A and B are shown apart, each in its own frame.
Chain A
């Protein structure tokens, strides 16, 4: 009869490992759901945060803000949510998913992205109306598309794009692969693409700035570490990293 308890213990241990509910938690892990456009900067920030908090791990899930929001309201075990726009964040807060009020930690500005060297000499938003140009926009249902529409409205322009892309990365890809001559994407995306494309600033972009809110989630398994991570993102160091990636400061009127 002696082997029985050992055998049972092994099964229990295996079960504990499988369901991740071991009595002794090895290291606290902060799970961050962040908009795809934050990938480069947040990865850097996550490594920095882990260095400053030995024994803590940061895990990221990058994706479209909408998809992430749907995951959170659907019960995904996340600690932090960083969205690419207020509307999507509002969906999480309305569902009672956020702990406290979300804070804007960065803003993003649209740019016209063109082929390297800007061969079509695009200087302004108005140039995009030239019939020989193939322009793609984000679909109005995603943040970059909403921002683009706002900017175009300001310029009183009605473009006839070749396509309304489902996210900013695929709009950028169309230009990178030379399928489109220009697209409206975020400055951060243009910067991340390096030499493969060129960016053109345009004044109407100011009316369509995208705010990136961040919040600790109501059901966060690691609320303290999550709050520390949010604070780190909003710290001077965090802002420096975001700025380098092309983001704008959150602005004075930020809530």
Chain B
């Protein structure tokens, strides 16, 4: 039931599955292979260009600058906190959408995806109107608790979570719909309350989907620019995340911007790669 659970079971189960489901590269039909390779090139080409044109000579100097590490630290911190926030709020929301029926559920489902289609800058403005110092709710926060979110690191987290949450909700909801709801019924007949059933049965069952959603949300939060700069502004060490630093560097020193992008890229690829390994290992259970 604890953290180490899924791994040992799959270590034995995994090789067989891989051998059974993967075919040699050469056996893939051409009609799939060609567009697949096209897609891969399309995705990787800009990355290659970034690497080719990167000012490698300047990189050590950039990496030596404390601002870079400050922005990186802030980015990782805020993206991770935002992902945690998405999990705490988004997984129950996904459960509600997948497992319960209430009037207007379809509308709510559509509304949940609004941050996906909203230009992030507009999202930032909307957040200001809602949670800003003079916003609908923000005004109350300020009056009652003296809390203002804009221009704070908490504001960065809020902006990132706003933009990233739909990825998590959609991913988890899809997994929940695919999962057999009768496991929850089985748990109920064993005396589990709906929450216990969710926590001890449903959640472990949909863990791969939750993990995938969390990775998507984290990646989206890490790259977030528009909503963050609009809602939280940009101040080094407080609200200036890597994408903001990259953007501002682009105004005056494009070479520095490329260098910063590379740092962000390297870190995110490393983190996602590590998580992917852990989580895909946990999916066979």
Task: Give A residues with C-beta under 8 Å from B.
Answer: 64, 66, 70, 134, 136, 139, 141-142, 161-166, 170, 173-174, 177-179
Contact = CB atoms under 8 A, between A and B. Distances in A.
A141 B151 contact: no
Contacts of A161: 235
A246 B151 CA distance: 30
Given A170-B229, A179-B134, A163 B251 contact: no
Contact of B128 (A139, A162, A166, A177): A177
Interface stretch (B106-114, B158-166, B242-250): B242-250
Contact of B251 (A142, A174, A177): A142
A179 B151 contact: yes
B49 to A, nearest CB: 13
B244 A179 contact: no
A170 B247 CA distance: 14
B252 interface: yes
Contacts of A162: 150-151, 233, 235
Contacts of A64: 251
A161 B235 CA distance: 8
A162 B253 CA distance: 24
B233 A177 contact: no
Contact of B125 (A70, A163, A164, A173): A173
26 contacts: A66-B252, A134-B133, A134-B151, A139-B248, A141-B248, A141-B251, A142-B248, A162-B150, A162-B151, A162-B233, A163-B239, A164-B234, A164-B248, A165-B234, A166-B229, A166-B247, A170-B230, A173-B125, A177-B125, A177-B129, A177-B132, A177-B134, A178-B133, A178-B134, A179-B133, A179-B134
A139 B251 contact: yes
A163 B233 contact: yes
Contact of B234 (A66, A139, A178): A139
Q: Which of B230, B233, B254 has the most CB of A within 10 A?
A: B233
Contacts of B235: 161-164
A249 B232 CA distance: 36
Contact of B252 (A141, A173, A174): A141
Given A64-B251, A163-B235, 12 more contacts: A70-B254, A163-B151, A163-B233, A164-B235, A165-B229, A166-B247, A170-B229, A173-B125, A173-B230, A177-B132, A178-B134, A179-B133
Contacts of B125: 173, 177
Contact of A141 (B132, B230, B249): B249
Closest 10 CB pairs of A and B: A163-B233, A178-B134, A141-B252, A162-B151, A141-B251, A66-B251, A179-B150, A139-B248, A177-B128, A179-B132
A61 to B, nearest CB: 18
Interface string B94-136: 0000000000000000000000000000000100110011100
A136 B233 contact: yes
Given A139-B251, A141-B252, A162-B151, A174 B233 contact: yes
Nearest to B232: A163
Nearest to B230: A170
Nearest to B128: A177
Contacts of A163: 151, 232-235, 239
Contacts of B232: 163
B244 A166 contact: yes
A178 B128 CA distance: 9
A170 to B, nearest CB: 7
Contacts of B128: 177, 179
Nearest to A140: B252
Given A134-B151, A170-B229, A179-B128, A66 B134 contact: no
Nearest to B231: A179
Contacts of A70: 254
B220 to A, nearest CB: 20
A44 B196 CA distance: 66
Contacts of A174: 150, 233
